[in-house]
Amino acid sequence: MVSTRLLAAKAVCHNLSHADEAEKSSAILIRVIPVNLLLGLLPDPAMLRAYSLTHFEPLIHHYKTGNVAAWRRELDEKREWYRRRGIWLILFERGEILVWRNLLRRRSVRITSQIVDD
């Protein structure tokens, strides 16, 4: 599912001139991606590569798998990159809660499937 925020950001990026497009598109998407992540809307990996935003790929993987330790480590290792773009705090404060939620969801699905199989 593609969010309306992401579509709006892409529309703004599309209307920029080619000289400004890459820089401004990335700047817009850098701020939209964390918000969408907190809403549970994950960006397309091809889009991340197209706009050179591969910094988010490991973070998104840890988000999906519910790997809290790796999420914390990734935020810590790239803290300065996220801080310079003004997104570290929102990822740190709000994101970890959602990673825990995803971990618990995965565990509950596994436990439920084991109970059903028995």
Residues 11, 34: Cα–Cα separation, whole Å: 18
In order of 80, 102, 112, the CA distances from 30 in angstroms are 14, 23, 37
- 94 touches 88 (CB < 8 A): no
Determine the structural domain holding residue 31 and report its residue range.
4-117
Q: Copy the structure tokens of residue 29.
A: 């998407």
pLDDT at residue number 81: 94
pLDDT at residue number 91: 93
Query: How many domains, the chain?
Result: 1
pLDDT at residue number 112: 75
Mean pLDDT for each 10-residue chunk of the chain (118 residues)?
61 58 83 91 90 91 94 95 94 93 85 71
